[in-house]
């Protein structure tokens, strides 16, 4: 039976931590006892998150990291480890989307989504895994994908492609890094309310979408807490290469 602080002594790095799911992930892991490095392109909002974590006696270090820049990734991981020691848990969360009909999406938008969600996720995982292999203690890598890894989201071609890549990357890295005791798993969230999409769910279109969902509702970031803690902690020590759907039955509902 785990205690509320079963991650005491662990160092978790969370990318895309300045808002939305990343913000919630950082709070959840810090409340479970982990020291957290909170990473994003700008550290302004991260300072507020760090203060919130420090408010319940947690330890948080803001880290500047642009996941579309490999040197920035490497520098960010190095800075995090200088402050808090080797990374034991990575939450690979940075992500963007670009809504557009497929026949109109620009190369610039397509590249931004793929560079952030797929290429960026890989090189963050690589940088952290290099450290885990060097230190020889293994670790947990948690890739945040989406139900879009398995189903079509209309007018979101690059996002769907990128999240399918993250899903396959998770399996491939689990197979390759298992010998180093690195557990690589992922979460496929369904529709979750965040600051970016909150207003949409109040529109007529958003309400119609909610009415079509199995549970007639959308999730909150904290609905991912249980799965996150499972994959970050000892409960997943015999799990690797798994993608867990946290979508209130959306994937089971079919296409």
Catalytic residues: 159
Task: Give Cβ neighbours of residue 20 (< 8 Å, ≥ 6 apart).
Answer: 194, 195, 196, 221
Cα Rg of the chain, angstroms: 17
Cβ(189)–Cβ(246) below 8 Å: yes
For residues 166 and 119, give the distance between their C-alpha atoms in angstroms, rounded to a whole number. 9
Cβ(196)–Cβ(159) below 8 Å: no
For residues 92 and 152, give the distance between their C-alpha atoms in angstroms, rounded to a whole number. 22
């Amino acid at each position: 039976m785990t205690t509320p602080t079963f991650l005491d002594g662990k160092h978790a790095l969370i990318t895309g931590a300045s808002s939305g799911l990343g913000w919630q992930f950082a709070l959840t892991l810090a409340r479970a006892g982990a020291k957290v490095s909170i990473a994003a392109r700008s550290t302004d909002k991260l300072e507020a998150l760090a203060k919130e974590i420090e408010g319940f006696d947690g330890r948080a270090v803001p880290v500047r990291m642009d996941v579309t820049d490999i040197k920035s990734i490497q520098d960010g991981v190095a800075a995090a480890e200088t402050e808090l020691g080797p990374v034991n848990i990575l939450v690979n969360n940075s992500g963007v989307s670009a809504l557009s009909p497929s026949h109109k999406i620009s190369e610039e938008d397509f590249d931004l989504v793929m560079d952030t969600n797929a290429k960026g996720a890989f090189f963050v995982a690589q940088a952290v895994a290099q450290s885990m292999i060097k230190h020889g203690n293994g670790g947990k890598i948690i890739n945040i994908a989406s139900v879009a890894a398995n189903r079509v989201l209309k007018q979101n071609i690059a996002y769907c492609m990128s999240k399918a890549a993250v899903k396959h990357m998770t399996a491939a890295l689990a197979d390759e890094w298992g010998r180093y005791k690195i557990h690589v798993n992922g979460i496929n969230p369904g529709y979750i309310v965040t600051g970016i999409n909150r207003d949409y769910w109040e529109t007529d279109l958003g309400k119609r979408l909610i009415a079509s969902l199995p549970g007639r509702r959308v999730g909150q970031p904290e609905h991912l807490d249980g799965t996150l803690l499972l994959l970050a902690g000892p409960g997943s020590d015999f799990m690797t290469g798994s993608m867990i759907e946290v979508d209130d039955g959306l994937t089971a509902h079919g296409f």
